[in-house]
Structure 1
Amino acid sequence: MKTNDERMQDILEHLKSIQHIKPETIPNIDLYMDQVTTFMDAHLKDTKRYSDDKVLTKTMINNYAKNNLLPAPNKKKYTREHILLLIFIYYFKNLLSFHDIEQLFKPITDKHFNTPDDLPLEDIYKEIFSREESDLDRIQADIMDKFEKSKTAFTDKNLDPEDLEYLQLFSWISGLSFDVYLKKQVIEKLIDDLYETGPGKKKK
């Protein structure tokens, strides 16, 4: 069984491998659905939890369109802007409901999807992901800080080494989970505020 120190090293290596899809790698031609799923799987494979997981499937794309997260394709073809939205959806769907994502995306798709007179969606994407390196450094530092704090937990309980190692792992995971829980609460509160002030107000 791995030690917690070994787990920490694995986490650091994994974080180094995570990179967003660069806009310049997205084809300049419209793609059919099979080409879209192949592209997404090739570029986001390192983010999958299990090797046989699919980053994106036809069913997922149809569900996104059905739930108003993704504008309809043009003659069964998807543009670069569709790909950019699918990337955002890929990250958001792990945290938010389809309804929340729809509410969050509506001003983006209304004003910046295929609208040459407003700020292009690609510019929004670049601005958001320009912070990736500094954000990853900050997140990595926070993970390491929580790990170091977990190593001091239960040290006064006279536990056998295996039990101590596991309880410290539990402490580490709990600290990370509480952080995610609080941030999810904040995100949902911000989206709830959109329900109150934006189109499609929150139902009572």
Structure 2
Amino acid sequence: MKTNEERLQKIIEHLDGLRYITPETIPNIDLYMDQVTTFMDKHLSDTKRYPDDKVLTKTMINNYAKNNLLPAPSKKKYTKEHILLLIFIYYFKNLLSFNDIEQLFRPITDKHFNPADGMPLEEVYKEIFSQEEADLERIKSDILEKYQHSCKTYEDRGIEGEDLEYLRLFSWICELSFDVYVKKQVIEQLIDDLREEPSLKKKK
């Protein structure tokens, strides 16, 4: 069995290798759906859990449009703004419901998706992802802190070897999971608050 120290090193190496898609990487020409899925799969392959997983499929794109997460393409072609929204959706979809994502995205698509004036979506995207390096460092520090805390659990309990290693792994995973659970509740509460804002309520 791997040691928890080995698991920690593998996680840190993975996080060090993560890179977000820069707007400059996205083609300046409109893309057909097949080209969109190919682009996303190529540039987000490092984030997949399993090699055979698909980052994006035609069915997913159609579902996003059906659930009002993504504006309809023009003549079956997707713009750079569509790609930027799809990247945001990719990160949110495993955390939030479609309903929550739609609520969160509505002001973004209304005001920043091909705006006549004001800040374009590309600038919104750049501002958020410019924080990536600092955010990752904070995340790594937090993971390390939780790992170190788990190493002190079950001391003086007469437990040794693989049993102790596994109980400490379980403790580490529980602490990480509780953190995600609480933050998910905070995010959902913030989105629920948006639903109460008169200007942000869904138009019937």
TM-score band (shorter)?
over 0.9
Distance, in Å, in 2 between the alignment partners of 1:182 and 1:116 is 39
Corresponding residue for residue 158 of structure 2: 158
Corresponding residue for residue 43 of structure 1: 43
Cα deviation digits, residues 66-108 of structure 1 (max 9, x gap):
0000000000000000000000000010100000000000000
Cα pair 1:155 1:164 within 8 Å, conserved: no
Q: Percent identity?
A: 74
Corresponding residue for residue 20 of structure 2: 20
Q: Displacement, 1:14? A: 0.4
Aligned match of 2:201 in 175, 199, 202?
199
Corresponding residue for residue 58 of structure 1: 58
Distance, in Å, in 2 between the alignment partners of 1:120 and 1:92 is 21
Cα pair 1:36 1:83 within 8 Å, conserved: yes
Q: Displacement, 1:118? A: 1.7
Cα deviation digits, residues 133-188 of structure 1 (max 9, x gap):
00000000000000001001002210131110000000000010000001000000
- Secondary structure of 2:44's counterpart equals helix
State the TM-score, normalized to the length of structure 1. 0.97
Distance, in Å, in 1 between the alignment partners of 2:156 and 2:141 is 26
Corresponding residue for residue 135 of structure 2: 135
Q: Displacement, 1:200? A: 1.9
State the TM-score, normalized to the length of structure 2. 0.97
- Structure 1: unaligned runs, 5 residues or longer: none
Distance, in Å, in 2 between the alignment partners of 1:18 and 1:44 is 9
Q: Displacement, 1:116? A: 3.1
Write out aligned runs for 1:1-204 (5 A): 1-197=1-197, 198-200=200-202
Distance, in Å, in 2 between the alignment partners of 1:128 and 1:116 is 22
Distance, in Å, in 1 between the alignment partners of 2:159 and 2:172 is 17
Distance, in Å, in 1 between the alignment partners of 2:54 and 2:158 is 45
Distance, in Å, in 2 between the alignment partners of 1:173 and 1:138 is 18
Please provide the CA RMSD for this pair. Answer: 0.8
Distance, in Å, in 1 between the alignment partners of 2:162 and 2:28 is 54
- Secondary structure of 1:96's counterpart equals coil
Cα pair 1:154 1:164 within 8 Å, conserved: yes
**Count of residues in correspondence between the two structures:** 201
- Secondary structure of 1:106's counterpart equals helix
4+ residue segments displaced more than 6 Å: none
